[in-house]
Structure formats: C-alpha cells, structure tokens
C-alpha cells in the first residue's frame, strides 16, 4: 500500500479525485458540501431529501455524479467536536475509498472552522493514512495499491508531520503483525540494524555470550527454552547539542507460549504481537529520523522467545538480574517483566533524565481498562503529565494508574529478593512496582496489553496490531 497525502488550496470541488467527500452535520451539508452541491446542480441536497440519511457519526452514503462519486460522511452534531472525531472521520473515508477501489480522493477539511485549519488538517491526515493500512503481504491475491488523498484547504506543513507519525505507526504495525516464524529475535535485531543503517543511528546488538557477560540472568532464563537465541538491541539517536537524554525500553518477546506456565490456546493466539513494545520503540526511531528533535534518545530492546524445551526455565528457579537483585520465578508466563528488569538496568547505565518502558505486560490492565486504553504508571508527576498530554493530542487513550507502594510486599519472596508475581488482585500495579525496582526516578511505564492488538476492525484500522504508543512517544519527545 502506497499512500500519498497532499494539501490543496482549493475547495473539494476544485481538486482532482474520482471520489470527493464532504460532511453532513446534524442532517445538513457543511459549507464545503453546499459548494460541491452547487457545482452538481443540487444533486447532493436532492439525495439527502430522498433518503433517510441523517448524518449520524460514521454514516456514509455514496452519490453518483456523472463519472465521479461523491461521498457524504456523517459527522454527527457540532457538539463535542474534537481532533479524535476528525481522525476517525478520515479513517472512515480511507476505508470507503479502498472498498470502492478509487485511487485519488479529495476530502473536505472536516471541522476546520471549529478546530482551526492546522489542527483539523493534522488529525484528518493521520486518519486517512491509518485507515488505509492493510497487512496483506502473505495473501497470494494481494496487489500493490497506490492511493492519493487531497485535503481541501489543508495546511501542508502539518500534513507532512502527520504523515511522518502515521508512517511510523504503520511500520510498527507491520512489525507486530509479522508471523513469529518470520520475526524471530535475530530478525528483529537485524531490522533494528537495517533501520540504523538507513537513518544514521548508532546501534549495538549483543548476542548470548555478551548478554551473559553483563549478568543478565533474568533475560537469559526467559530465552533459554527457544531454539532462537536472544538479542539485546541498543539504538541511539544523538542530535547536535541535545537538551536532554531519555531512554525508551520496549518489551521484545517475539512469541510467548507462557513457558511451563502454559497459556491456553486462545490466550496464545496473537502472541506474535508480544513484541509490540519493541515495535513502538523502533517506530519512534523511524519518526525521529525525519523530525530530528533536540533530544538524545536511547532505545533498548531485549528480544527473545518464551518457549518450552528441556532447557526452558521453570517455576521456583532463582535468577540473578543485571542489577544484582535476585528473583524467584513464581510464574513463567510473567516473563516480560524479567526481560525488562535487565533491559531497564542496562538503559540506566546511560544516566538518562527519564526512562519510559512500553510493553504488552499484563492481562490485569486489559481487565481494568479494556482494549482501547493503555495504563500509565509513573514515579514522577511531571513525566506522567507530559505523557498524558502527548497521548491526548494523538488520540491514543492513556489512563494513569496508582503506583500503590503498599502492594510491594506482595512481591517479597521467601528465598530471593523478589518474586516475579504476587497476587491476582492489582496485578498490573504489582508488575509496574516490580519494574520500578530496577530503575531510578523519573520512570514511567506504559502497559499496552489492551490496545496493542485489536482482534477486530476498529476506528483507525483493521484487525491486528495497532502501533499504539508510537505517536504518543514521538509527540512527547518532540515537545521536550
């Protein structure tokens, strides 16, 4: 899929495209719709009168206008207008364009009068791009598709910024959608090296011997059961005169069976996306290559598989982490926090001003917040506020959860410094507290187990990996 976004100075009527899309608000054509209606001699208003179309949010009606199509998109009412609504409207336009098979589309800049032309252009461009996403490289009948979108009276600079973030999100989606027999730990590390070579990042990839030399016993224990050896990836984006240094740590479990604490079949489905945190870090670096913010960024990924073999780790083992702390393994399916413990300790060696981890970490966060909202845990209010603001601006739903210190006692082990799980109640909080044992403040953790992978089509894309976190992290970094 090749998507091109263009901003046009003219109205929808004056832009190219076999499909022209305008909005319907509270049952009436928008001003742009009225202009197009006049160009087609009242055809659109006649179609509205003759139908039951009332312009409810997300409704779409197609009108034939000679050799062209006109799409009437329901935008709901003028109440509660937001960038989220515009972003979702853009995604709906993209889905309809793909369904119709058109390759050039002119779109009204929805709610530009309420949000401003720049904010509306940005949200619409993101929606058009994200809604166009398809992962079909393994379908034998798939063919290359090129679609060009024109945003009427759009703002070129912000459309270009939106393209960068949307492309980075799509890249992260591609990585997390790859089958596990393709995206192994070695392949994920090789992709990081390719990305670094293409964009001039520093990169270091460590194999099992080097990982062992660092004392990463927790990471190596998780990786032991797989025929594919682990890799530790360290990417660095280093601009001239950086204002700050931050570290992003992404969970890189390329497949998770649960180990000997085996997952049931349905829970094991889609565990290829258990590396969505790592994908988000790589997607963020892809965007950094174009946006070039004045922040030094270190990306750390502990890539492994949690599988079963004669050498796989088992419950009751005690492993020693890079930090020197020991951990009793109470559940082999709580493997992500073990790999992250060592990755976080490694990232801390760079003495960053802040560390942010992102991971599909706990089912508890899904129970609490569902599949559209990620959980945020933070040791610092300022860091938490900045991440929440960035997520809100990008329409990636994020909710701060309490880092309840009294729950730490649930992680106390009889035979080691810690155990990797406590009680079922408050499981996401305990997982975040576990991670906080291996870092210094300020630290934030994004548990994206819910929104990282959508099991059915949703507002901004098809079923599959969502690329959650890329746009939030990039917006946060770019605003620092």
Q: Give the span between the Cα atoms of 250 and 247, in whole angstroms.
A: 10
Strand pairing partners for 21? Answer: 71, 107
DSSP for 109-123 reads: -TTHHHH-HHHHHHH
Coil vs helix vs strand at 60:
strand
Peptide bond into 159 cis (omega under 30): no
Q: How many CB atoms lie within 10 A of CB 213?
A: 9
Dmax (CA) of the chain: 81
- Select from 401, 443, 7 the least CA-distant residue to 249: 443
Choose the catalytic residue: 337, 419, 471, 475: 337
Q: Give the span between the Cα atoms of 2 and 148, in whole angstroms.
A: 8
Coil vs helix vs strand at 365:
helix
455 is written with which tokens? 């099991």
Contact 233, 305 (CB under 8 A): no
Annotation says 263 is catalytic: yes
61 is written with which tokens? 């009606």
Q: Where are the beta strands (DSSP E) in 171-230?
A: 202-206
Annotation says 18 is catalytic: no
Choose the catalytic residue: 263, 320, 400, 480: 263
Contact 178, 142 (CB under 8 A): no
Q: How far is CA 301 from CA 26, 118, 204, 213, 231, in A?
A: 48, 35, 11, 17, 8
Q: Give the span between the Cα atoms of 173 and 452, in whole angstroms.
A: 9
Catalytic (active-site) positions: 263, 337
């Amino acid at each position: 899929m090749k998507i091109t976004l263009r901003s046009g100075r003219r109205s929808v009527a004056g832009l190219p495209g076999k499909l022209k899309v305008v909005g319907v608000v509270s049952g009436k054509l928008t001003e742009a719709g009225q202009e197009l209606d006049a160009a087609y001699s009242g055809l659109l208003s006649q179609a509205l009168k003759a139908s039951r179309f009332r312009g409810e949010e997300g409704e779409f009606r197609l009108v034939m206008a000679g050799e062209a199509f006109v799409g009437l998109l329901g935008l709901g009412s003028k109440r509660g207008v937001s960038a989220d609504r515009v972003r979702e409207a853009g995604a709906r336009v993209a889905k309809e364009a793909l369904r119709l098979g058109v390759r050039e589309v002119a779109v009204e800049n929805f709610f530009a009068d309420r949000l401003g032309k720049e904010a509306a252009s940005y949200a619409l461009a993101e929606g058009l791009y994200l809604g166009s996403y398809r992962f079909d490289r393994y379908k034998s009948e798939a063919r290359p598709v090129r679609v060009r979108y024109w945003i009427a009276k759009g703002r070129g600079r912000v459309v270009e910024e939106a393209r960068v973030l949307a492309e980075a999100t799509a890249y992260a989606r591609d990585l997390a959608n790859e089958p596990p027999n393709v995206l192994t730990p070695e392949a994920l590390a090789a992709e990081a090296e390719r990305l670094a070579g293409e964009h001039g990042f520093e990169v270091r990839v460590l194999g099992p011997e080097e990982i062992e030399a660092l004392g990463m016993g927790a990471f190596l224990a998780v990786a032991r059961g797989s025929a594919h050896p682990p890799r530790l990836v360290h990417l660095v984006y280093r601009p001239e005169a950086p204002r700050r240094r931050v570290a992003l740590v992404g969970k890189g479990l390329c497949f998770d069976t649960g180990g000997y604490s085996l997952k049931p079949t349905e829970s094991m489905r889609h565990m290829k996306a258990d590396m969505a945190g790592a994908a988000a870090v790589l997607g963020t670096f892809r965007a950094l290559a174009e946006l070039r913010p004045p922040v030094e960024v270190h990306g750390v990924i502990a890539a492994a598989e949690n599988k079963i073999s004669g050498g796989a780790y088992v419950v009751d083992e005690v492993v020693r982490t890079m930090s020197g702390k020991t951990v009793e393994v109470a559940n082999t399916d709580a493997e992500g926090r073990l790999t992250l413990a060592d990755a976080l300790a490694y990232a801390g060696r760079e003495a960053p001003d802040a560390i942010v981890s992102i991971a599909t970490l706990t089912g508890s966060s899904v129970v609490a917040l569902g599949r559209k909202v990620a959980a945020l845990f933070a040791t610092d209010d300022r860091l938490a506020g900045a991440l929440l603001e960035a997520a809100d601006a990008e329409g990636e739903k994020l909710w701060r959860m309490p880092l309840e210190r009294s729950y730490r006692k649930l992680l106390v082990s009889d035979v080691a410094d810690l155990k990797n799980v406590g009680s079922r109640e408050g499981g996401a909080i305990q997982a975040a507290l576990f991670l906080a044992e291996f870092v210094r403040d300020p630290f934030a953790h994004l548990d994206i187990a819910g929104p990282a992978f959508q099991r059915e089509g949703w507002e901004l894309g098809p079923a599959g990996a969502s690329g959650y976190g890329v746009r939030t992290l990039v917006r946060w970094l770019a605003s620092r």
